[in-house]
Amino acid sequence: MNRKWLALIAIAAAALPIPGCGSSQQLLTITVSPTTAIFGSAVPAGVGQNGIQLTALGTYVHPPATKDLTDQVTWKSSIPAVANVSATGLLTAGPNCGVAGISASLLTNQPTGNVVVGTMTATVNGPAAEGCPSTPI
């Protein structure tokens, strides 16, 4: 009779769910590239006449991965009069000189309601903007 109980216990144990990697990936960080951009009298590397295309890369765990989030994040400039960023991550100089922080944020569900943010800095000097002096600051 003991063997029958052992067999039943073994079958019941096999049917129980085993904790594992059943949860979705968790976004840890967002890295914005490039990390800095300077608009001034000389055209910076990578700048076309339409501005600089920023990218947002997300680092995930469980399992580890890096994904391009450029089209999923919300882009924002701390001072749009200095540097503008479009919904697709295109960075352009505004009409004024100065330094603006640019952020890329994403609301995640792991943990619920968590906002992950990546940043970069944009500087506008010289004649890149109408309101700037002709010599770089």
Q: Tell me whether residue 15 is in a domain.
A: no
pLDDT per position as a tens digit, 98-132: 999 999 999 987 667 789 999 999 999 866 556 66
Mean pLDDT score, 50-75: 94
How many domains in the chain?
Answer: 1
Q: Tell me whether residue 57 is in a domain.
A: yes
Q: Is the pLDDT of residue 54 over 70?
A: yes
How would residue 5 be classed by pLDDT, with cut points 50, 70 and 90?
low
Q: What is the pTM of this model?
A: 0.73
Q: Is the pLDDT of residue 69 over 50?
A: yes
Q: Is the pLDDT of residue 43 over 60?
A: no
Q: Which residues contact 71 (CB under 8 A, 6 or more apart)?
A: 88, 89
CA distance 35 to 118: 10
Q: How many CB atoms lie within 10 A of CB 101?
A: 14
Q: Tell me whether residue 7 is in a domain.
A: no
Question: Which CATH number characterizes residue 77's domain?
Answer: 2.60.40.10
- Give the pLDDT confidence score for residue 1 in this predicted structure: 58
Q: Tell me whether residue 50 is in a domain.
A: yes
- Give the pLDDT confidence score for residue 49 in this predicted structure: 55
